[in-house]
Structure formats: structure tokens, C-alpha cells
Chains A and B, each alone.
Chain A
Amino acid sequence: MKAAGARVLGYGLVLLLLALWEAASVTRLLDPFYFPPVHEVARSLFASLRDGRLARAVLTSLGRGFVGFAGAAVLGVGLGAIAGRHRFVRALIDPLLELLRPLPSPAIIPVAILLLGIDSSMKIFIIGWACFFPILLNTIDGVRSVPPALVETARNFGLRYPESLFTVVLPAALPVIFTGLRIALAVMLILTVATEMVAGSNGIGFLLLEAERTFRIADMYGFIAALALVGYALNHLFLLVDRRVLAWHHAMHKDPAA
């Protein structure tokens, strides 16, 4: 009950901040050119929703975002499962990983533009690149943490390597893999917007920057609000899948006092 109450208060805090913004803008305490009143931002948000601009942009952005994310998930989980099981593979890829992992993903945007141009393939590549590392590293950790006795039992029962990988190792590592996927999902949204801002002619990132450059400041804030809602919805959707797929894990670790 206490947590639920705090949550309601939390939403109240968001509303309070919006009300303060509205009041400060209307009374010109804040410059309304840079901080248009909330009702104007809301009006412009609904206008872009009505004429379909926003939906098209969001769908375009999420489309390329998910292709990059899915590619990273397949490669990251695949390579992570192999590297997690074999010390030799881990040792082989470790120096490369240690060099590439700290590299900020936007740093490779110029290279990607040079090699792939400025269309969707470049953006998908950058998104995939950025999502790949958290998925790979968490998969390696997850697979390494699988109790050896579990794998040995599967071997003893005559399960072959791929069968044991898919029925024992990956399901056992799934809670840690999901942590990587959740981090990657947030990274996906960041890089989707960033790449569309750097080079593009569509997508929510492009709309946002275009609004700023043409001084449609209320539109700009409207797109930012839309992005925040998309991020919120994505995270909640992911948690929904997580609660369903990993129901056993959450029940197993449920604090009886909670």
C-alpha cells in the first residue's frame, strides 16, 4: 500500500512540475519563446498526432530501432552463449571486446556514414552496434553462472550440445540475458534518435531537430514528450514480457516480507 501511495504521489509530482512550468511561462517568469506554456506544447503534440506526422515518424524510428536491436540480440546471445561456455573463445574475443566496448557508439557514426551512406542501413548498423555489447556481456555472464551440475546432468542424460544449450544453458541464463536486453532497449532508443539527428530525412529524431531549427519550439517539446512516452511504453512492454517469461525467476526470488 505504501509503495502504491508513493507512486500516486510520484505522478502528482510530474503534474505539479508541469503546472509550475505552465504558470512560469504564462506569467513570463520563463521566456515563453524558449519555454512555451504546457497547453501550447500539448496542442502541438495533438496536432502532429492528428495529421499522422508523429505516428509515421515513431513507426519509422521504432522499425529501424527494432531491426538493429533484433540483430544485436541474435548475434549477442549467440556469440555470448558460445563464449560463456568456452574459455578459449572468451580469451580470443576479450582483447577486441575490451577495446571496442568503451568506444562511445556515436564515434563510429562517421565511419558508418562513409561506408553505408546516410539511409536506414547506417542507422540500423549503429543501433545494432550499440545494443550488441550489453547483450553480449550479460549473456556471457549469464551462461557462466549456470551451475555446472545442471550442464553435467544434461550431458549424463545424453543431451547433445545444441539441445543442452537451448533446453538448459540459455533458459538458466535467461534472467541475466534479460538484464542485457533491457539495457539494450534503452540504448536502442537513444541511438535511434541520435542517428536520425545526425543524418536523416525522417523519424522522430529528424522531426525533433527540424522543429528546433525552424523555431517551432512547442513542436520540439511535443516531440520530446512523445519520445518520453514511447520510452516509458517500451520499458513497460519489456517488463510485461519479462514478468511472463521469467515468472518462475521472480517467484523464486520474491521476498516473503514484501
Chain B
Amino acid sequence: MRRELVELLVCPVTRDPLKLEVVSEDEHGDVIEGALVSERINFRYPIEDGIPNLLPPDLQRRADEPA
């Protein structure tokens, strides 16, 4: 995920800006693993394999449930 994308993103619940946390990045500085944090609802939207998951928390929990 390109770092400048953060400027375009907001929390889908509160529409507040998100805080970027970087765990790993590639040689171009793009984020590979990390999170986008919505502080008001204390939720971390994960970034995995360079792709941020900004599904609202209720949909993320549903996706995590076993089929």
C-alpha cells in the first residue's frame, strides 16, 4: 500500500482520518504489513500483503467466523 493513500482514506464508521502503523515495507517504502487505526472506535484495520482491509468491523468479524 502506498503511503500517500492514507491521505485519501477515512474510517468507514466514523469518517475520521486513520493513523498508519507500519510493520514491514518494501524497497519503495510501500507498506506490506501494518494497520490503519481508527482511534475513536479503537479499531485496527489490517494491512496484509500490501492490501488494506477497510471493511467495517462488523463485516470483518463475520468474515473471520468459521463457515
Partners in one complex: no
Q: Which residues of A contact B (CB under 8 A)?
A: none
